[in-house]
């Protein structure tokens, strides 16, 4: 199990890391035109962008499951976060590299990339907390035992 990564400059919950996303996608700074001569600066910019995507993906997971994973993040949640961020990166790449239309070619279709796929929803299914369950777990019952008959 993983513990949430909270960058120093933010209080946002993150269910995966830029390193995991980079490993999964192979994304590099040059893919986002971070190609200055300073490699460290390029990697920092990419990590900042990925952190933003990870925060967004984590919020999507929280909203879909109605659940916040404060500690001991299940591996499935971490993997789903990486998948969502991967889909965001893919969508950005497709939108950048494939033009909406080409000159004199009105038949070309825009490639659609779904961020929150059915596969992701299936992976998250066991973690969904319904509103009724949440209310039930927050109920507190008090019993008073007295010496009277």
Stated as kind and residue range, the H or E segment containing 21 is: helix 18-25
State how far the Cα of 12 lies from the Cα of 95, in Å rounded to an integer: 28
As a whole number, the mean pLDDT across the chain is 82
pTM of the model: 0.74
Tokens of 117: 């796929």
pLDDT at site 80: 98
Residue 98: is its pLDDT beyond 80?
no
Give whole-number Cα distances, 90 to 27, 32, 51, 60, 111, in Å.
10, 12, 16, 17, 11
Report the distance separating Cα 109 and Cα 90, nearest Å: 17
- pLDDT confidence tier of residue 149, bands split at 50, 70 and 90: low
Q: How confident is the model at residue 137 (pLDDT cuts 50, 70, 90)?
A: very low
pLDDT band at 141 (very low <50, low <70, confident <90, very high): low
Q: Is the pLDDT of residue 32 over 80?
A: yes
């Amino acid at each position: 199990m993983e513990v949430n990564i909270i960058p120093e400059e933010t209080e946002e919950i993150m269910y995966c890391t830029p390193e995991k996303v980079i490993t999964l996608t192979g994304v590099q700074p040059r893919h986002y035109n971070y190609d200055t001569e300073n490699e460290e600066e390029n990697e920092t910019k990419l990590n900042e962008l990925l952190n933003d995507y990870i925060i967004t993906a984590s919020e999507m997971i929280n909203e879909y499951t109605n659940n916040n994973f404060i500690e001991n993040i299940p591996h499935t949640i971490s993997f789903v976060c990486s998948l969502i961020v991967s889909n965001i990166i893919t969508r950005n790449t497709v939108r950048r590299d494939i033009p909406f239309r080409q000159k004199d070619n009105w038949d070309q279709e825009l490639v659609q990339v779904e961020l929150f796929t059915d596969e992701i929803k299936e992976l998250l299914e066991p973690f969904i907390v319904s509103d009724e369950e949440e209310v039930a777990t927050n109920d507190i019952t008090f019993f008073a035992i007295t010496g009277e008959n």
